[in-house]
């Protein structure tokens, strides 16, 4: 992947400013749909190009932000479309054979209650962006706040990446290392949180069962 990324970067440097803007828009859009695309690193590269006056900072920030939101909403619409089918025809989807309906419904209720927070943080949660956008679509979170929060998230995250690329200038490639470390930290934190919640719920159920048993004995 690193070899292909380097080749892409070298090719981008040969393009006209208008073509570069188009490529960045395409990358920012596709990164939401095809997660392996190193969109964050390439946006940081855009900051370097802006510092070199090859492109302008404000336009590339606007373009990548709008494209990111379009990508998010594309996955949202896919989730909404297939979510309806799953809801109506659960037995026809092989995944639902392994997923208890109550967990599916519970996930929907959780998203209804806390989903906008996850959408607001989605660009900062490496590795979960497509999952969040799909889940938002499946649970049909309200479109207006979803659009606003995904826009804020994209604007903040892209501003940070472009700003970092601008500041470190020709050393912009080192940002890739820190993004990898950041991604692993986020992933590890999410895993720890999921495990903690699992055992906490298990402890609650056990405590509740013990209380009921004691009342029955009394």
Read off the pLDDT of residues 67-76 as tens digits, 9 standing for 90 and up: 999 999 999 9
Instruction: Classify residue 86: in a domain, yes or no.
Output: yes
The domain in which residue 43 lies consists of 2-175
Instruction: Classify residue 195: in a domain, yes or no.
Output: no
Instruction: Classify residue 95: in a domain, yes or no.
Output: yes
Asked whether the predicted pLDDT for residue 40 surpasses 50, the reply is yes
Instruction: Classify residue 157: in a domain, yes or no.
Output: yes
What percentage of the chain exceeds 90 in pLDDT?
Answer: 26
Instruction: Classify residue 100: in a domain, yes or no.
Output: yes
Distance in angstroms (rounded) separating the CA atoms of residues 218 and 214? 6
Instruction: Classify residue 129: in a domain, yes or no.
Output: yes
pLDDT digits (tens, 9 = 90+) for 81-121: 877 666 555 555 555 554 455 555 666 666 777 778 889 98
Q: Rounded to a whole number, what is the distance in angstroms from the first to the last CA of the chain?
A: 65
Instruction: Classify residue 209: in a domain, yes or no.
Output: no
What mean pLDDT value characterizes the chain?
79
Residues whose CB is less than 8 angstroms from the CB of residue 161 and which lie 6 or more positions away in sequence, other chains included: 40, 43, 44, 46, 47, 175
Distance in angstroms (rounded) separating the CA atoms of residues 203 and 107? 20
Residues whose CB is less than 8 angstroms from the CB of residue 61 and which lie 6 or more positions away in sequence, other chains included: 155, 158, 159, 162
The larger pLDDT score, comparing residue 121 to residue 208, is at 121
Asked whether the predicted pLDDT for residue 125 surpasses 60, the reply is yes
Q: What's the total number of domains in the chain?
A: 1
Distances (CA, A) of 12 to 31, 47, 101, 115: 17, 13, 47, 37
Residue environment code for 134-144, b if the CB has 16+ CB neighbours within 10 A, otherwise e:
bbbbbbbbeee
Instruction: Classify residue 125: in a domain, yes or no.
Output: yes
């Amino acid at each position: 992947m690193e070899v292909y990324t380097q080749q892409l970067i070298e090719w981008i440097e040969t393009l006209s400013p208008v073509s570069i803007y188009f490529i960045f828009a395409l990358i920012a859009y596709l990164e939401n749909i095809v997660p392996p695309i190193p969109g964050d690193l390439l946006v940081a590269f855009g900051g370097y190009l802006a510092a070199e006056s090859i492109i302008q900072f404000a336009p590339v920030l606007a373009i990548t932000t709008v494209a990111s939101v379009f990508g998010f909403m594309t996955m949202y619409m896919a989730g909404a479309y297939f979510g309806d089918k799953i809801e109506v025809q659960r037995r026809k989807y092989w995944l639902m054979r392994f997923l208890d309906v109550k967990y599916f419904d519970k996930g929907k209720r959780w998203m209804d209650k806390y989903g906008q927070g996850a959408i607001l943080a989605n660009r900062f949660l490496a590795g979960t962006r497509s999952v969040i956008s799909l889940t938002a679509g499946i649970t049909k979170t309200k479109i207006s706040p979803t659009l606003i929060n995904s826009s804020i998230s994209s604007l903040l995250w892209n501003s940070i990446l472009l700003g970092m690329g601008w500041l470190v200038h020709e050393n912009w490639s080192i940002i890739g290392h820190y993004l990898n470390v950041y991604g692993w930290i986020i992933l590890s934190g999410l895993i720890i949180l999921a495990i903690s919640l699992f055992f906490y719920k298990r402890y609650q159920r056990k405590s509740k069962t013990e209380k009921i048993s004691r009342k029955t004995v009394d």
